[in-house]
Amino acid sequence: MDKDAVNEWLRFHGRISGEMTAERTALESALIPVTAYILVSCLEAYRRYPEMMRIIAAARSPEELGALGRRPGNQIDAVHLWSIANLPLVIRELMDAFGLIDPADDLDRLGTIFDFWAPAALAFRGDGQHQAYDAGLVVPRYGADVLDELVAGSVPVTDDATRRQIAKTNALLTSFLFLLYFDTRAGYQDTGPYPLADGRTVLVRDFNEFGVGYFPWSAEVCGDLPHSNLTCAFVLDDVQVTANDWGTSTTDPVDYFSRLASFGMFDSTGGTLTPISMSELPDIAATTKRAQAALYRLIAAMTRKEKIDAGAFVYFTFLRPFALAAGVVDQLDWSVPRDSLDLYEAFSLIEGMPEGMETPPDALYYSLIQ
């Protein structure tokens, strides 16, 4: 990819990410040093993703990988696609401010990243767009076949007690996965809206990889959870829904549970949808609550370095679902920190937004290659 093409993608991502960031309220966690681990993971991504992407693409094309994300129960999704393109760009701005970027090397790295990301994103969405911001805040992850199965497996919600149980279970799952993924939404996300012929709208929420898995800390807290992947369908009456590439939905009205016409929860492990009875929701909620309490105690007992390394591992492994689907996950080194050791100590001390990463008014969010 030549310089002009790379710069066009830098403008594209900069425009969208700049708008998304401006709309978000960023808070530093009192428990986890989020900024420090993001900087470490982004540097690892900038330095290591290009070669890893070459290995993954040689085993399976980005187009094939993106299309695989249209099945439930995997993490080739909008959040991971946004991340594998943007994490390297985030740290690049800080490195450039300190003169640590070589333009020729930078061009090669970014060209490789965009060559992988662009066809994968197109195939994932299937609507001719790369991101939700260019499609009116719509993430059309699932086609008619999956949507029909979700709606057919949903059951009417007719009483307040059922609504409260659904809302409680949803709240516990979202808060647990947020903590499991070290204060990031990478483990759960919303897609849609999916309009139905009868005028109703479907919002789909996926909770992925929250059993015992590749996070070392999951072995200590997730063993009793009855499911590792869940897909939930919220069939809504008279609710306007939008969704962005960070897995966040907005609804009008905000209290969409009051207009929940039917609801379905499915175990989506392995890509198939197995309906879960509403009678199981109290048990799912109870086991999730216990796991969350155990996870909080585990993280609170970690040293600052252990928290940074764990958070950096979460972010760095955003590329992992693509390697898994390509059959090369075990051929790649996922350890962190590795290639960030020269700046690790400096990054580990940072709290909040470091100097040099603020975007001046009217400036490009991501600087171009000159």
Q: Which residues constitute the domain of residue 201? A: 144-300
What tokens does 336 get? Answer: 């962190």
pTM of the model: 0.95
Residues 47, 104 share a domain: yes
What pLDDT is recorded for position 125? 97
322: in domain: yes
The Cα 90–Cα 40 span in angstroms is 11
Q: Residues 295, 308: one domain?
A: no
Find the DSSP H helices in the chain: 3-23, 34-59, 62-68, 78-97, 103-125, 144-152, 160-180, 218-221, 281-300, 304-316, 320-326, 341-348
For the chain, the residue count is 370
Under 8 Å between Cβ of 359 and 88: no
- One domain for residues 279 and 184: yes
pLDDT tens across 17-47, in order? 988 887 765 556 789 999 999 999 999 999 9
Instruction: Say whether both 122 and 231 belong to one domain.
Output: no
Give the model's pLDDT for residue 361.
Answer: 46
pLDDT score for 224: 97
Mean pLDDT split into 10-residue runs, the chain, 370 residues = 96 93 68 96 98 98 98 97 97 90 96 98 97 96 98 97 98 98 95 98 98 97 97 98 96 97 97 97 98 98 98 98 98 98 95 56 80
Q: How many domains does the chain have?
A: 2
Residues 84 and 206 in one domain: no
Rounded CA gap, 349 and 45, in Å?
Answer: 20
Task: Confirm whether 368 is domain-assigned.
Answer: no
- Which token pair is 254? 């905000």
pLDDT, position 23: 74
Q: Is residue 364 part of a domain?
A: no
Any domain includes 282:
yes
Please check whether residue 353 lies inside any domain of the structure: no
Tell whether 68 is covered by a domain. yes
